[in-house]
Structure 1
Amino acid sequence: MRSALFLSAIAPAALVAATAEAPPAAPQIYNLDYAGNGCSAPGSVKSTSTTLGDSASFTFSSLKGDDTSNCGIHLQAKGASEGWQVAIKEIEYKGTLSLKPGSSLDTYSQVFWSDNAAKTTTLSDNIVCTDVDFKDSFTLRQKTSTLNWSKCTGADGNPGILNVNFRPVVQGKAGSYDVKSATWQLVWRKC
């Protein structure tokens, strides 16, 4: 029953930086690496996007469990128009979920650029089961108003290495998750 599910959605404050559509030439994704106990098998993460335009999407084949796991994606792209920066403003995860009453799925995404790894933004949200068993598909959106901008693209159009580490955690009595996909919503600005 869906009545057993409480979705928390914290709306972010207004974006603090002036933003624009993607640059005239969006960067082409040319390298995708991943690591973590939730995506350690070869081919367990696949990009369904070829560029970093307004969004980038991925599928997972082994990001599942009944406790916690993590999957870190490391993405490189090049060929963007010169003089642009990009940041993640929202991440949407989809999958299937089973929770007992008194349990929750807490999720955390750490976003950073390799050239400034000390500057990390954490997005989080949760799904709480309040009164009866929940077993169904889910969509969870993590939003932030703290944008973590890439370096300014130069002549090669490379914004740097974007890293997103996702960690789902089952809290409380019992539950399990199977995360099937992620979509990063991106925002651009001139620099």
Structure 2
Amino acid sequence: MRSLLPLTLLPLLTLAAPPTSPTIYDFKFSGNGCPNDSGSVKATSTTLDDSVSFTFSELSGDNTSNCGIHLQAKGGSAGWQVAVSHIEYKGTVSLKPGSSLDTFTQIFWSETASKTSTLTSELVCHDTAIADAFTLRSTNPPATLNWSKCTGGDGNPGILNVNFRPVVQGNKGSYDVKSATWGLVWRKC
């Protein structure tokens, strides 16, 4: 008989944020969808808790654009690692039949840049044109989570990089991405 113990312990490996969450102290962005020094991206969170959110004022187009967000945090409890478990984008979209809005998100820590997760999502317009608000959510499977380094005395998990690229495929369309929320999971290390 096989033991179910390993399966029951899996959810316990990821936890809520540590007792003291790291405070975001450095936040940069770049790309044609969020030019650096433009003020077009705002962090609506000040700490890395169970999620961190951003708003965009220029992440729109009718073909493709990209926005890379790079952040650092410190002051969290020692002995923890964090990973991005899912990402949710909200905005408005207009698509003609035969078109789609595809999203590609790459997630990595600068210290281990070769370990990159890629999340994708898609909104397809089949028969009737779409002109509406959208929410697209991509989930990072547990086996492919990119964990930060273990926080030490300074509570710094490292530099988190999330690069996002919306793409209109097919006949015709446009998008205006207004916000992103990164869901975070934590574990002791």
TM-score calculated relative to the size of structure 1: 0.91
Q: Which runs of 4+ in 1 moved over 2 A?
A: none
Match of 2:122 among 126, 130, 134: 126
What does 1:43-122 align with in structure 2 at a 5 Å threshold? 43-122=39-118
Aligned to 2:180: 182
Within 2, Cα distance between the matches of 1:75 and 1:16?
A: 27
Q: Compare CA radii of gyration and give the structure with the larger one.
A: 2
Counterpart secondary structure, 2:154: coil
Counterpart secondary structure, 1:187: strand
Within 1, Cα distance between the matches of 2:86 and 2:113?
A: 19
Aligned to 2:137: 141
Which shifted more, 35-44 or 158-167? 35-44
Quote the offset at 1:163 in angstroms: 0.2
Quote the offset at 1:148 in angstroms: 0.4
Within 1, Cα distance between the matches of 2:13 and 2:139?
A: 17
Identity of aligned residues (%): 70
User: More helix per residue: 1 or 2?
Assistant: 2
Within 1, Cα distance between the matches of 2:76 and 2:165?
A: 30
1:26 aligns with 2:16: no
Root-mean-square deviation (CA, aligned residues, Å) is 1.1
Aligned to 1:170: 168
Runs of 5+ consecutive residues of structure 2 not aligned to the other structure:
1-9
Runs of 5+ consecutive residues of structure 1 not aligned to the other structure:
1-14
Quote the offset at 1:17 in angstroms: 7.9
TM-score calculated relative to the size of structure 2: 0.92
Within 1, Cα distance between the matches of 2:148 and 2:11?
A: 16
Within 2, Cα distance between the matches of 1:107 and 1:18?
A: 29
Match of 2:34 among 33, 39, 47: 39
Within 1, Cα distance between the matches of 2:155 and 2:140?
A: 25
Quote the offset at 1:16 in angstroms: 8.0
Counterpart secondary structure, 1:115: helix
Which shifted more, 133-142 or 17-26? 17-26
